[in-house]
Amino acid sequence: MIAEPQLGQTACEQLADAAFDAVNEAAVDVEVVIHHNVEGLTRFANSQVHQNVARDDLAAAVRVVLDGGRSGVVNVHTDGPGVVARAARDAMALARMAPPDPEFPGLAPAAPTVAVPVDEATIAASPENRAGAVRDVLSEIPDEYEAAGAYRTVASELAVFTSAGQRIYAPGSVATLTMVVMGPTSSGYAEGGERAMADIDAAGTAASAVAKAAAGHDPVDVPAGSWPVVLEPPAVATMVQFLAYLGFGGRDYLEGRSFTAGHLGERCVDPRLTVVDDALSPLGTGLPFDYEGTPKQRVELIRDGAAVGIVHDRHSAAKAGTSSTGHGLPAPNTHGPLSMNPALLAGDGGAFDDVIGGCERGLLVTRFHYTNVVHPKETSITGMTRDGTFLVEDGRISAAVKNLRFTQSILAALEHVEAISSQTAYATEIFEEGGHFPSLRLPTFTFSGATSFG
Amino acid sequence: MAAGAEYADVRAVHEDRESLTVQDQRVEGVARATSRGVGVRVLVEGSWGFAGTARLDPAHIAEAARSAVAIARAGASLRRRSIELAPLDVEVDRYVTPHSTDPFDVPVEDKLELLLNATAAANSVDGLAFAKASCDAWRITKWFVSSDGARLNQTLLQVAGGVECVAVDDTQVQARSFPNSFRGYCGTGGWEDIVALDLAGRTPRYAEEAVALLRAPPLPEHTGTVILDGNQVALQVHESVGHPLELDRILGYEAAYAGTSWVAVNDVDRLRYGSELVNLTLDSTTPKALGTYGYDDEGVPAGRHTLVEQGMLRGFLSSRETAPGLGGDVRSNGTMRAESWGAIPLIRMSNIHLEPGEGSLEQLLDDTGNGIFMTTNRSWSIDDKRLNFQFGCEVAYEIRGGRLGRMYRNPTYTGRTPVFWGSCDAIAGAEAWEVYGTPNCGKGQPSQLARVAHGAAPTRFRDVRMGVR
């Protein structure tokens, strides 16, 4: 479609200026967030395309703040300056009805940001490009298997303008491929994500999923209980992203709801683990500033096993007496700031196979499924293994096993780590933006139940 | 159609949303959102194409239509079988959610006053860390036009409101929610349904329970009898009945993301899903239920359909594309919905109910003697075939001698779908049956949220593993 996959900074500014002009009064603070997403997605299942969609969505969010911190927010989906101007007037009307908020921290001031790489070919991706990638995937699928997944290309623009002087714009491009290959008794998973679609090896990703499914045939039962485990990058992503979500948001920290409250600086996991939130990592797909217009900072959450950093938006930062780290969500944000790009730094454990090779007897987990929080402050989560769970004996996969349920404190699982791979792979779990994660070998992990399929 | 489509439908959607949130006496959010756009779905060479645009000038809409055709053509060569649609009696109609007061006509100040009064009432309880109150309203106006001749206009009004009371100590976070977790009451209707909740009057009891949970012992690990309150049975139905009976999951369409199902197409009339007490119904017409509408997003009228009858599987949630796979002249039972103008419709739950049994909760407790009573969902997880599940609730109580006794914190239970439903040996009656809205059902890629509901009464299950560690 989408004749104009990128509006450009000038067009975004014109939309924002319509809002500023509409409520151009003294003692009025205004923030305009323009978010333009042109997304194409081709889904396949049963080894054929079954959904093929495109969406061009241009959204403007206008926040108006009056004296005493009274604020209102109006979101509209439009490319019309008149609609944005009306949104600003409506936001002003809402603000007039709202009570004062003495905790209002002010809007983001002018601050420079860095550019992230953008791939023009991904921005201009056509249905034929996506079909070609899916064709590459399907060509790798043997007759005895079925493939299901999605190939997605996104061209995005995020711009934030504030009456405090910030005028910031970033284009972005992302391509992702997620897929499952299913055989008669097993399934295998693989995924990829890059800023440029040319960097996704569709056929190679498919071959990985096929190999995983082939290795997983005829799974056997193993008892639930405590096992040594090797967690592959998608499973590690689950652990790290949930840990970041539960432990390192500024608001939860200040309200005493996270395990870091009162314990910053203390060791919380194995000293060999360092977790960093870095949206600008060359291996990631993040944007360079948050929805308040604050440039994203690289924040060490865990350094050498100790909890050392908290991410903030402007509100939590003001309450904590510090500065925003650029982790604000769209207003009105009632959840507080969020670490959306946490990554566990690679270790010295060699390739993924080397990490498996050091396992005398344990379970290899490809990924987890439908993970959810059981006890937030204990960082206890539960979920299932999926698409490739294996018994490892004498450093080699000896059998596929049926899926298991785990109920496990993340902090307890990471208290002792036997190996961290130096090799990493793209993975994501609870956030759309993924990152690169190593594999881990842990001495003990609690599986609380089993199921009847692999 | 001129571009070569065999079938086309167009949805124009205008959605207004308002969301207000307060924490204690601070207003955290006053927000309104308007989303307008057009989605064009076409069937070309037996393959779907869909394009949506928020740019509503004729040129962009025409471009979206051409784009949908091009997308369909690009995928057509990668299909093994052409899509065929189940027949449909097309209609020209208008539907409006019954209501007294449009929530968007109520001044924001009045709503904030209601919320602030509720948190003030909660804050009167010593030891509470904070209370959060919220209300939401959605007004969705849709126009649906198809090349079959359908002309439909619907306006759906949905409202939500509730309070979460939170207590915190050095090692725990405990919460009690009224009237339910995850944004509270959620239903179709008007502002009168939020006022009727009496948030300020009823919240202090929940604040007291949140504080008491900090001192309560954890639920011991054991296997025994559990009575789940209706609000937890609703989530149990959602995860272990609603999702596995979605025909697109069963046919493998969602395999890569949400998963498949333990149920097969040919299980109808052969699979025992639960005990003879278990009757489950898909009903998109239930008054005030969050998933109620006039027509789905393929133009199929809302209706009531049996899914499980006396424990035996009788049907699925279907669409015009999937229903022909059931054989014969089976038609869609009208469950296709899209999150917005920019999303393609998927099979979604509307309202799926566990039909009531007999008696009150008190009679059920009395009949049970000893066991555990759990209420109000806190966490959920289930495998990709919807067999192995684990749920957590906000609070549990011991049942001793037919009465509720001491409180337990962090209650969980786990099981396997057919075994669990097979162990159901009592369901409370209509006087204890309520409809619970679920506003955050996720499915699809890109992920789409749907607002759905489940009617349920307190229900008893035997030999259930609880206190999972």
Token pair belonging to B424: 């159901």
Q: Quick: pLDDT tens for B25-40.
A: 999 999 999 999 999 9
pLDDT range class, residue B273, cuts 50, 70, 90: very high
B91 alpha carbon, distance to own chain's centre: 27
Shortest distance, CA A300 to any CA of chain B (angstroms)? 24
Contact by Cβ (8 Å): A180, A387: yes
Q: In the prediction, which pLDDT does B80 show? A: 84
Distances (CA, A) of A35 to A310, A447, B124, B458: 26, 42, 42, 45
User: How large is the average pLDDT for residues B8-13?
Assistant: 97
The one-letter amino acid at A437:
F
Q: In the prediction, which pLDDT does A454 show? A: 63
Chain A contacts of B344, Cβ < 8 Å? 51, 53
B210 alpha carbon, distance to own chain's centre: 25
Distance CA B395, CA B404 (A): 12
- Determine, for residues B28 and A371 on separate chains, whether the beta-carbon distance falls below 8 Å: no
- Determine, for residues B29 and A334 on separate chains, whether the beta-carbon distance falls below 8 Å: yes
A110 close to B (CB below 8 A): no
State yes or no: pLDDT of B48 exceeds 70.
yes
A255 close to B (CB below 8 A): yes
Distance CA A441, CA A418 (A): 5
Q: DSSP code of B345?
A: -
Q: Which of B18, B36, B43, B53 has the highest number of chain A CBs within 10 A, making it the mutation to test binding with A?
A: B53
State yes or no: pLDDT of B240 exceeds 50.
yes
Q: Quick: pLDDT tens for B183-211.
A: 999 999 999 999 999 999 999 999 999 99
Q: Which of B21, B32, B115, B417 has the highest number of chain A CBs within 10 A, making it the mutation to test binding with A?
A: B32
Residue B68 neighbours by CB under 8 Å, 6+ apart: A54, B5, B8, B40, B41, B42, B49, B50, B51
One pLDDT digit (tens) per residue for chain A, 454 residues: 444 678 999 999 999 999 999 998 777 899 999 999 999 999 999 999 988 999 888 999 999 999 999 999 999 987 789 999 999 999 999 999 999 999 999 999 999 988 889 999 999 999 999 999 999 999 999 999 999 999 999 999 999 999 999 999 999 999 999 999 999 999 999 999 999 999 999 999 999 999 999 999 999 999 999 999 999 999 999 999 999 999 999 999 999 999 999 999 999 999 999 999 999 888 777 889 999 999 999 999 999 999 999 999 999 999 999 999 999 999 988 899 999 999 999 999 999 999 999 999 999 999 999 999 999 999 999 999 999 999 999 999 999 999 999 999 999 999 999 999 999 998 987 777 788 999 999 999 999 988 876 6
Chain A contacts of B243, Cβ < 8 Å? none
Q: What is the 3-state secondary structure (H, E, C) of chain A?
A: CCCCCCCCHHHHHHHHHHHHHHCCCCCCEEEEEEEEEEEEEEEEECCEEEEEEEEEEEEEEEEEECHHHCEEEEEEECCCHHHHHHHHHHHHHHHHHCCCCCCCCCCCECCCCCCCCCCHHHHCCCHHHHHHHHHHHHCCCCCCCEEEEEEEEEEEEEEEEECCECEEEEEEEEEEEEEEEECCCCEEEEEEEECCHHHCCHHHHHHHHHHHHHHCCCCECCCCEEEEEEECHHHHHHHHHHHHHHHCEHHHHHCCCCCCCCCCCCECCCCCCCEEECCCCCCCCCCCECCCCCECCCEEEEECCEECCCECCHHHHHHHCCCCCCCCCCCCCCCCCCCCCEEECCCCCCCHHHHHHCCCEEEEEEEEEEEEEEECCCCEEEEEEEEEEEEEECCEEEEEECCEEEEEEHHHHCCCCCEEEEEEEEECCCCCCCEEEEEEEEEEEEEEEECCCC
Report the number of secondary-structure helices (H) and strands (E) in chain B: 8, 23
Q: In the prediction, which pLDDT does B196 show? A: 98
Chain A contacts of B469, Cβ < 8 Å? 407, 446, 448
Distance CA B124, CA A59 (A): 41
Chain B contacts of A224, Cβ < 8 Å? none
B246 alpha carbon, distance to own chain's centre: 13
Q: Is B87 helix (H, G, I), strand (E, B) or coil?
A: coil
Residues 373-392 of A with CB under 8 A from B: 373-378, 382-384, 386
Mean pLDDT of chain B: 96
- Determine, for residues B81 and A48 on separate chains, whether the beta-carbon distance falls below 8 Å: yes
- In total, the C-beta contacts within 8 angstroms joining chain A to chain B are 272
CB atoms within 10 A of CB A453: 17
State yes or no: pLDDT of B467 exceeds 70.
yes
Chain B contacts of A212, Cβ < 8 Å? none
For CA atoms B233, B235, B241, B242, give the dihedral sign: positive
State yes or no: pLDDT of B377 exceeds 60.
yes
Contact by Cβ (8 Å): B88, B299: yes
User: How large is the average pLDDT for residues B336-347?
Assistant: 97
State yes or no: pLDDT of B153 exceeds 70.
yes
Q: Which residue of A has its CA nearest to B383?
A: A384
Residue A168 neighbours by CB under 8 Å, 6+ apart: A111, A113, A159, A160, A161, A289, A293, A295
A372 close to B (CB below 8 A): yes
Residue in the structure block whose two tokens are 């239903």: B187
Q: Quick: pLDDT tens for B160-183.
A: 999 999 999 999 999 999 999 989
- Determine, for residues B414 and A451 on separate chains, whether the beta-carbon distance falls below 8 Å: no
Angle in degrees, CA A48, A51, A57, rounded to 5: 150
Least confident of A312-316, B63-67, B326-330, B389-393: B326-330
Distance CA B165, CA B178 (A): 8
B118 alpha carbon, distance to own chain's centre: 25
**What ipTM does this complex have?**
0.91
Q: In the prediction, which pLDDT does A1 show? A: 44
Chain B contacts of A405, Cβ < 8 Å? 381, 383, 388, 390, 414
Distance CA A385, CA A387 (A): 7
- Determine, for residues A3 and B63 on separate chains, whether the beta-carbon distance falls below 8 Å: yes
